[in-house]
Amino acid sequence: MNEPVRDTRAISCADDYDPNSMPVGKAREVIARFLQPVTAAERVNVRAALGRILAEDVVSPLNVPAHDNSAMDGYAVRHADLKGDGDVTLKVAGSSFAGAPYRGAVKSGECVRIMTGGVVPQGADTIVMQEHVKAAGDKVAIAPGHKKGQNLRRAGEDLKIGQVALKRGLALRPAEIGLISSLGIGEVAVYRKLRVAFFSTGDELVSIGSQPKEGQIFDSNRYTIHGMLTRLGCEVIDMGVVRDDPRLLERAFGEAASSADVVITSGGVSVGEADFVKDLLNKLGEVVFWKIAMKPGRPLAYGKIGPAHFFGLPGNPVSVMVTFYQFVRDALLVLSGRDPVPPLPTFKVPCTSSLKKAPGRTEFQRGILSQDAAGNWSARVTGEQGSGILRSMSEANCFIILPTEQGNVTPGTLVEVQVLEGLV
Ligand code: AMP
Ligand code: MG
């Protein structure tokens, strides 16, 4: 992790970018320099650890598997008993089933019936699949051609005692929850949840339950932000709607910054409004206002209010979601203790729509990724792309990311897509 930079105004002046149009990658880089992950941890039951981030390495207290065991249903034999040039007949001395091992050693001329997962009995060193023997009563005939040690899973092959099974900084998915349980571990240390306070700004906004008067609209940003934060595993502090009034805003910023690790607002950062919020935030902390070379989501503010990180997102509902996913998400994961934060995969597919695009900024168009009858994937846009049209996000299952230098897109061109849905 880089040294945190104390003064955001210093970087806004010192770095070699045009403050009127900050490239997306540069903005991410600058934000990344300030992020100091939480360190406090708590111990939770393994089931409750789903979605949380490991605060310590999980070290295996056992060998996995614990014993040499069979990978097949068949017979455990001594390889030295087998012949290179003809069948050998062995006596079946007993059985080793999963959970019911053979007690004793396999002697020369003997074998043991064994099922998948059964402990390999002493003396035996090779498993012959049942399909490869001729069984008759308590005798089996085995043809030549079996390799010593075949079909056997060795003790500790998966994990050895003392080996790190899972690393600190990992987000726990069902696979990890299962793995921890397979080690007999019932509790793990996870980082405390990141506390994120958020509010909407705007005189025109009303919350659900109130009757909008003429010119007023329902606040939706607070609800999408609530959803996005909850999905990321944050503890959320919903501070409601704050009017465009300096006194009320100052109070809200102060309250949010003293109760949370991160403060997120929407609205009030575009030109005109920004001057007023700018003065306020310069008084309360160190905040830079960026015009990002992107669409949607051009205005964005980032900085510190006391110890809290601040993200001032634009007001338009689609811009809120795009800037959240492109800047805030990764930052919150870093702050939550995720290490490393894996980049979201993107890949290229043909675009079936024709897209209007001006070079000079990165665009995040809302797309639908779909498969044709032959199984080939392609992407198209979700119709109207206005930054106020939240339906474009709802219909989308991907972002179509058009890089800075890209111009108009003709159908059939390969475009980069970022999938919105995750399997696990
Ligand atoms: P602003 O950045 O405050 O100028 O807002 C830009 C546009 O987004 C305006 O049309 C606002 O009405 C709209 N907007 C701002 N905040 C919200 C919100 N919380 N929910 C829905 N729309 C909003
Ligand atoms: Mg506003």
Mean pLDDT across 96-105:
95
Mean pLDDT across 234-241:
98
Q: Which atom of ligand 1 is found nearest the CA of 319? A: 8
Tokens, residue 264: 């997120």
CA proximity to 396, closest of 365, 371, 355: 365
Residue 254 CA to ligand 2 centre (angstroms):
19
Tokens, residue 165: 């099974």
pLDDT for position 144: 95
Sign of CA dihedral 27, 29, 30, 31: positive
pTM attached to this predicted model = 0.91
Mean pLDDT (the chain) is: 93
pLDDT for position 20: 65
CA proximity to 367, closest of 297, 405, 415, 295: 415
Mean pLDDT across 166-190:
98
Question: What DSSP character marks residue 47?
Answer: G
| Closest residue to atom 11 of ligand 1, CA basis | 315
pLDDT digits (tens, 9 = 90+) for 335-363: 999 999 999 999 999 999 999 999 999 99
pLDDT digits (tens, 9 = 90+) for 382-411: 989 999 999 999 999 999 999 999 999 999
CB 110 within 8 A of CB 94: no
- Give the number of other Cβ atoms within 10 Å of residue 209's Cβ: 6
Mean pLDDT across 291-302:
93
Q: Is the peptide bond before 101 cis (omega within 30 degrees of 0)?
A: no
pLDDT digits (tens, 9 = 90+) for 26-59: 999 999 999 999 999 999 999 999 999 999 999 9
- Give the number of other Cβ atoms within 10 Å of residue 15's Cβ: 12
Q: Which atom of ligand 1 is found nearest the CA of 219? A: 20
- Rounded Cα distance between 235 and 403, Å, is 34
Residue 183 to residues 45, 92, 187, 191: CA-CA distances in angstroms?
14, 34, 11, 21
pLDDT band at 2 (very low <50, low <70, confident <90, very high): very low
pLDDT for position 16: 41
Cα angle 394, 417, 341; round to 5: 95
Residue 41 CA to ligand 2 centre (angstroms):
38
| Closest residue to atom 5 of ligand 1, CA basis | 315
Task: Please give the torsion angle defined by the CA atoms of residues 275, 276, 277 and 279, in that order, rounded to the nearest 10 degrees.
Answer: 80
Cβ-defined contacts of 355-360 (< 8 Å, 24+):
355/381, 355/400, 355/402, 355/408, 355/409, 355/415, 356/408, 357/402, 357/406, 357/407, 357/408, 357/409, 358/407, 359/404, 359/405, 359/406, 359/407, 360/21, 360/293, 360/404
Q: Who's near 8: CB < 8 A, 6+ residues apart?
A: 34, 286, 287, 288, 302, 303, 304
pLDDT for position 270: 86
Q: Which of 221, 222, 264 to mutate to test the pocket of ligand 1 (most atoms within 8 A of CB)?
A: 221
- Ligand 1, pocket residues at CB < 6 Å: 200, 202, 204-205, 217, 219-222, 266-268, 270, 273, 314-317
φ, ψ dihedrals at 188, nearest 5°: -135, 155
- Rounded Cα distance between 354 and 249, Å, is 43
Q: Which comes out higher in pLDDT, residue 304 or 275?
A: 304
What percent of the chain shows pLDDT beyond 70? Answer: 95
pLDDT digits (tens, 9 = 90+) for 248-268: 999 999 999 999 999 999 999
